[in-house]
Amino acid sequence: MTRKTVLIADDEKDIVELIAYNLEGEGFAVLKAHDGRTAWERVRKAKPDLVLLDLMMPGMPGMDVCRAIRGHAETAAVPVIMLTAKTEPLDKILGLELGADDYITKPFHVRELIARIRAVLRRAGARAEDVPPGTLEVGGLRIDFGTYRVTVDGRRVDLSSLEFKLLGVLASRPGRVFSREQLLDRVWGRDIYVDTRTVDVHVGRLRKALSVTGGDDPLRTVRGAGYSLG
């Protein structure tokens, strides 16, 4: 089995070495960066399987690195876990809105961090079981589940792996309303610690991405119930 590669981006070298030592002991390959610009360059060149990204770094803040990762087609699907000393809810929400797949605060337990990394990699590497094969078209929205390609009125839409999986679950039953709890279970899984607000944040990101051409919004919000596609 090919080893998964994790890029650790943090300006605190002791933390980088601690995480690297434990990840390598668990069979991961590790890349390191101590500033934001180096982190972004290594993401572009190496295409790691996951990025562990500190929020506060010199040169280029973690939020900007995350924004760059999500803004480029060749890196948009790379999973990102934010690692930061900031604990304000707004910081977490902003990180999720920018496309982070998870968020963990310092100080942290190394075993929990590794469990989070494995959980995110599992989500990124497998489609939802009930995602239909082939392609699906809803109005001007076209989803190709074989190539992970999404277009709206012929224009390509770049989604993160998490956003694509969320769209896939909604697309598995067009018109059906999925509750936030159902989406948490099917997209995030039961082994990750997120609340229903996370679903709202990612649905908002998905809705914004799918509205790239200014056409009708294919996502429907049913107040008090959840979300559906079409």
Domains of the chain: 5-125 (3.40.50.2300), 135-229 (1.10.10.10)
* pLDDT: which is higher, 226 or 100: 226
* Mean pLDDT in residue range 129-142: 68
Angle between the 62-71 and 89-97 helix axes, to the nearest 10 degrees?
Answer: 20
Instruction: Identify the band that residue 22 occupies on the pLDDT scale cut at 50, 70 and 90.
Output: very high
Higher-confidence residue: 7 or 150?
Answer: 7
Q: What is the mean pLDDT of residues 98-103?
A: 78
Is pLDDT larger for residue 178 or for residue 172?
178
**Helix, strand, coil percentages in the chain from 3-state DSSP, rounded to 5:** 40, 20, 40
Sign of the Cα torsion 109, 10, 190, 120 reads: negative
Please state the pTM of the whole predicted model.
0.63
Q: What is the pLDDT of residue 126?
A: 54
Give the model's pLDDT for residue 110: 92
